[in-house]
Structure 1
Amino acid sequence: MTSKMFATRNSEDIISVISPPQSTSAFRSRPSLTSQRSNDSAISSGANSDSDETVNSIINDVVDFESERSTSFDSGCYSDEAFNSEEFATAQNLAKAWKMCAEFRRRVEDGKDTTSIEQSIQREIAYVKKFVRNNDWPVSHEIRSDIWRILCHTKDYDAQKTTYHQQLEDLTKSGVKQLQPLFLSFDGIVVCDHGLKEQGAVTLQRLLIVVECVRPEIRYVPILYPLCAMFLHYMEPEDTFACVMRLLSQGNGFMLQSEVAVYASAHTTLALLKKHKKKVYQALKTKVGTSDDEKLAEIFKDWSAWVFKYLPYAYLVRVLDCFLVEGHKMLLRVVLSLTYLWYKEKGKSTLPSSVAAGSVDEKLDAVREEIIQVVRDCPISISTLLDICTSIRNFKFSTVQRLQADFELKHRDKINLERSMKSQLSPTRTMYTQAFSSAIIDCEVASEIMNALPTRFQLETPSLLFRLSENGVSFTQLWNLIDQAEQSILIIKSTKNEVFGAYCSASWSERRDFHERTRSKYFGTGESFVWYADRSIGLPRIFHWAGTSSDHPDDCPQMFMTANDRLLIVGSGGGDAISIRDELTSGLSYACNTFSSPALVPGNAFEIAELEVFSVVSSVD
């Protein structure tokens, strides 16, 4: 692999060009195979008598589970020969089964008849689940990288690898000066690289920036950071990128991808605990001292960190084996099982008197800390933990979906309101490059507008194409000067000193392609946004596409841009966010459903004092 690295860890000038390692071994900082065997053996045998009692108690509660595991670390038996022949032969069978599943997905996507193979596919999926659950490969076994690639493979896999290298090349050429991806600034994101070496940590940050460039709509995925880190322990960055793109494409099937979904998942988890582990649920109520499920659900608000940060590395690896087959539902199984372990270890004990006499919130925090401690010091082997996970009967995906949908509907307005309040002030962000110079807005406002652009467009300073005071009030002159721009920033100043505008994500020349757009006169993408300058804070208030914060973006209006020879409109649906007609002298602004934005000027009508259009480009040629 000959791609370029451009980061060094713990450096003020974050990005520099360095050569990557030739294999992922340079990324890892994990125990050797021999030490890992002894660690797993110790885990299997139990560390003390208290743990033995816990194990015996748990085993008595678990429904009989027929295990067909091959020899492994966990059993204390290991055979190189077995893994080189029997295990690889089985892995080949897995590959065949999973390719059949992939073929089934392709046939569905292509609209072909699938009835003749559906039953066969269901059998193969059941086989894959059983195979992955019951084969305890050592954490350092080379088979894992192949298995994970198989489980994440799609027809676009190689194309995604190419996309990764292309984006990486664009970033390297740009001389970008930021390492940390934007999504890491949000609360609740799990940040843990599980012992990657310095080079691997640099690669991880770079990989996440590329993911953010390619999927700019992905803003809140708590497990994305540690999941990418785990992939990098076993495969090259381009393979990691392709795998992550596959998982992200499945909506919430693998990774929850919105604040609403994450918030609702805590309530879903509590409801599942109430259904499948009633004794544990009752113990939580008693220990916290409340029957209010709204409060009890707060225990699970950071459940993703239990799995992806606090669970021992060897355990997490095995959980991921199953997760890549079974998706989000497997993580819920693990969370319920970890809560069950807490119940066996600490559920019947009393909290310290100082905490017990405190508020419900204090007791909630104490119980959360107890659970995290149990997860860190997991008293059972990973095999037993997975047995507990898979012994939860009638744990149906349809039930999970129904509960999740109900709680999302119930709490959506609350979360959207909180998000809106948080976003009133634009967050401070590191600039990629120098802000553009405008006759209407100052450097600080220009910087905030640039920070709101998709990351890949923050690599070059926007350049001025049109200024009303210099080029005149003619639409003809406007189109002649700005049609060349693939993307543009529009800035307007009214005669009453109101300042507002838009980022337009498509070329205005597309107005001439009306006949090619059979469904709509509108064009542009969900990366567009509108804004106005708030004088009270000296910063712009930015309104992104409504679909960005919706769990059902396809249902949101997508009327981003439209125009003709003497008309320019940005945003529509309920009203136009910005509309200018006839000449570049006046316009109107109303509340707009596409951006969920209010009127950008008081009184709706405005007279234009100055208007600027800047070209936005993605990278250095």
Structure 2
Amino acid sequence: IYGKCVFVDWNQMGDLAKSSGPTKVDCKDLKEFKQMARQGYWAKNHKLRAQVYQQLIKAIPCRTVTPDAEVYRDIMGNAASKKPSSHISLPEFVDGSPLPQYCLKAEAVASAHQIINCVAGQFPDISHCPSLPAVTSLLLHFSVDEAQCFEHISRMLACNEPGKRLLDQTFLAYESSCMTFGDLANKYCTSAHKMIVAIAQDVLEVYSDWQRWVLGDLPFSHMVRVLDIYLVEGYKVLFRVALALLKFYRKHKAEGGQGNQQQDSSKVKDDIQAFVKGIASNVTPEKLLEKAFSIRMFSRKEITLLQLTNEKSLQQKGITVKQKRRNVQLALNPDTFSSEIVSAKEMRDIWSWIPERFALCQPQLLFTTSTHGCSLTRYIVQYRNTDQQVCGAFLSTDWEERKRGGNKLSFFGTGECFVFRLKPEMERFEWVVIRHPELASSNKTQGQEDTASPGGQNSDNNGLQQPEKPVGDLSPFLSARHFNLNSKNTSMFMAGNFDSIIVGGGDGNALYIDSELNHGRAGRCATFDNPPLCAETFQVSLLEVWGFQDAMAP
């Protein structure tokens, strides 16, 4: 049954057509199976790879009624034995994504089109699935007939294992995955993300192609190695590989000595696509995977939580179906942006650091000490001292949360908070756990409270008081409660009352500003592991508070 696939042009397969190495896989342990997939245990044996794929896909927990090969044969009837038409168009939900031919025969492309259209008839709830053509083409290389490929695709789409996803099937899921990729790139590919911000007019538009880089643009030799692991470990593998591609692209641009002149986002997308398609000349599949799995990311739980948070943000803005997105990046231009502290370019760089769901909004000046303003909520606060040093912070949580601690000056907020300085040099300092995940490796002490001492000093013996969240409310991404922290000093994000504003804690505060917004202190703190952002004691020359205005609002 696993002889040479009739759909494949074996002359294009090269070494992948061989059947050397192991001939069977005897493994029941998932951890061991993951290791085998990453090491390419079945990568040199096409027949064995096809057997493993069938084994993995058959093991996917699915809905009770999931179409199988017999359903396909019943639907297609005699058509299954006839040569499919090469003029069958793809369903609208693939959003114009072409079917990559990889190593398929020309006539096999029509078979793939026929399978996808049959899938569309059996899964009427799919509204947006641009990755389906690539996945169908890939699996057809390892299928004995169209019916088997149809069954494999159906099982992937019908997966109902809690917390596991294989393919986005709605625009909401797809768009939130693009935002999530942007958040991950911001955290784990800082240099590459900074470059994209510098050269592209719309960063989100560039990142909207992230899945296509992997499922569509990667050469077949690289993609099948990714598929080996993807079928074992799931969706998070795509994030890892796409981040690795972004890192390699940045290196490619740096070695080429190309400047960072801003250009149309579509040109940046085309350039990345061309690079990924030609990556085999410089990067082997093994090197790509090595880079992908060397990125120290958070758990699947954290990525899932971030995705859910982004979905919720899109739903709140009414973005659930495909629509033209307002270009927020272009709103930050010299003609419309006005600040007495930072330039439009500097604000654009700061905006690239914040979570993608807030980047859907436009910056709004809420308060400035030069003209006064309105009340504060989630915001970016930045100030310039009398020595012309500029620094600030992004605070991810509404200041109303401070009231949950009663009369105590208590820390709250999430790990999305960060502090930064723009002058004398531009630098961001994130939550220390992002850069050092090992700090979240042991159980945290229960029943303790962390309170901020008046005057901006912390006591190492105090615990963090976490505000209670209403039942059913979505916990914020990077909330300290989701981590087993070695030290409570690493989760002191923000605190404040009528006497002071404090950002960062543990062995000092990153920023402390008094009630008059006139004097302050800057220092090292454990939460952000930052050096002093400016002079340790300073006088505020000017302070601005920026909030987020819904870009979709009238």
Q: How does 1:446-595 map to 2 (within 5 A)?
A: none
Which residue number corresponds to residue 232 of structure 1? 140
Is 2:266 the partner of 1:365? Answer: yes
Partner Cα separation in structure 1 for residue 205 and residue 66 of structure 2? 41
Partner Cα separation in structure 1 for residue 124 and residue 93 of structure 2? 15
Partner Cα separation in structure 2 for residue 158 and residue 265 of structure 1? 25
Which residue number corresponds to residue 107 of structure 2? 199
User: Does the CA contact (< 8 Å) of 2:86 and 2:110 recur in 1?
Assistant: no
Which residue number corresponds to residue 341 of structure 2? none
Indicate which of 127, 131, 140 corresponds to 2:36.
131
Cα offset, 1:203, TM superposition: 1.8
Residues matched between the structures, number: 315
Is 2:227 the partner of 1:248? Answer: no
Q: How does 1:262-411 map to 2 (within 5 A)?
A: 262-288=174-200, 295-347=202-254, 351=258, 356=261, 362-378=263-279, 379-411=282-314
Question: Could you say what the CA RMSD is over the residues aligned between the two structures, in angstroms?
Answer: 3.6
Cα offset, 1:163, TM superposition: 1.5
Q: How does 1:88-167 map to 2 (within 5 A)?
A: 88-89=23-24, 91-93=25-27, 97=28, 124-135=29-40, 137-138=42-43, 141-154=46-59, 160-167=68-75
Partner Cα separation in structure 2 for residue 189 and residue 393 of structure 1? 31
Partner Cα separation in structure 1 for residue 99 and residue 110 of structure 2? 14
User: Does the CA contact (< 8 Å) of 1:190 and 1:223 recur in 2?
Assistant: no
Describe the superposition over 1:561-584 as per-residue Cα deviations: whole angstroms up to 9, x where unpaired. xxxxxxxxxxxxxxxxxxxxxxxx
Which residue number corresponds to residue 169 of structure 1? 77
- Structure 2 residues not aligned, in runs of 5+: 326-554
TM-score, structure 2 length as denominator? 0.51
User: Does the CA contact (< 8 Å) of 1:29 and 1:196 recur in 2?
Assistant: yes
Q: Alignment partner of 2:91: what SS?
A: helix
Partner Cα separation in structure 1 for residue 312 and residue 92 of structure 2? 26
Partner Cα separation in structure 1 for residue 268 and residue 320 of structure 2? 28
Partner Cα separation in structure 1 for residue 222 and residue 301 of structure 2? 27
**Counterparts in 2 of 1:230 and 1:211: CA distance versus 1, 3 Å:** same
User: Does the CA contact (< 8 Å) of 1:283 and 1:348 recur in 2?
Assistant: no
**Counterparts in 2 of 1:250 and 1:32: CA distance versus 1, 3 Å:** same
Greater gyration radius: 1
Partner Cα separation in structure 2 for residue 172 and residue 372 of structure 1? 35
Indicate which of 319, 324, 330 corresponds to 1:415.
319
Which residue number corresponds to residue 129 of structure 2? 221
Cα offset, 1:178, TM superposition: 10
Q: Alignment partner of 2:8: what SS?
A: coil
Cα offset, 1:337, TM superposition: 0.3
Aligned amino acid, residue 202 of structure 1? A
User: Does the CA contact (< 8 Å) of 1:24 and 1:235 recur in 2?
Assistant: no
TM-score, structure 1 length as denominator? 0.46
- Structure 1 residues not aligned, in runs of 5+: 2-21, 38-72, 98-123, 422-621
User: Does the CA contact (< 8 Å) of 2:12 and 2:103 recur in 1?
Assistant: no
Which residue number corresponds to residue 189 of structure 1? 97
Cα offset, 1:228, TM superposition: 1.0
Partner Cα separation in structure 1 for residue 216 and residue 324 of structure 2? 29
Is 2:15 the partner of 1:36? Answer: yes
**Higher RCO structure, 1 or 2 (CA under 8 Å, sep 6+):** 1
Describe the superposition over 1:421-477 as per-residue Cα deviations: whole angstroms up to 9, x where unpaired. 9xxxxxxxxxxxxxxxxxxxxxxxxxxxxxxxxxxxxxxxxxxxxxxxxxxxxxxxx
User: Does the CA contact (< 8 Å) of 2:37 and 2:229 recur in 1?
Assistant: yes
**Counterparts in 2 of 1:187 and 1:308: CA distance versus 1, 3 Å:** same
Partner Cα separation in structure 1 for residue 112 and residue 84 of structure 2? 16
Cα offset, 1:25, TM superposition: 2.9
Which residue number corresponds to residue 259 of structure 1? 171
**Which has the larger share of helix?**
1
Partner Cα separation in structure 2 for residue 211 and residue 339 of structure 1? 32
**Counterparts in 2 of 1:244 and 1:344: CA distance versus 1, 3 Å:** same
Which residue number corresponds to residue 113 of structure 1? none
Partner Cα separation in structure 1 for residue 53 and residue 115 of structure 2? 18
Which residue number corresponds to residue 365 of structure 2? none
Describe the superposition over 1:13-38 as per-residue Cα deviations: whole angstroms up to 9, x where unpaired. xxxxxxxxx976321124366x437x
User: Does the CA contact (< 8 Å) of 2:38 and 2:229 recur in 1?
Assistant: yes
Which residue number corresponds to residue 40 of structure 1? none
User: Does the CA contact (< 8 Å) of 2:168 and 2:174 recur in 1?
Assistant: yes
User: Does the CA contact (< 8 Å) of 1:151 and 1:324 recur in 2?
Assistant: yes
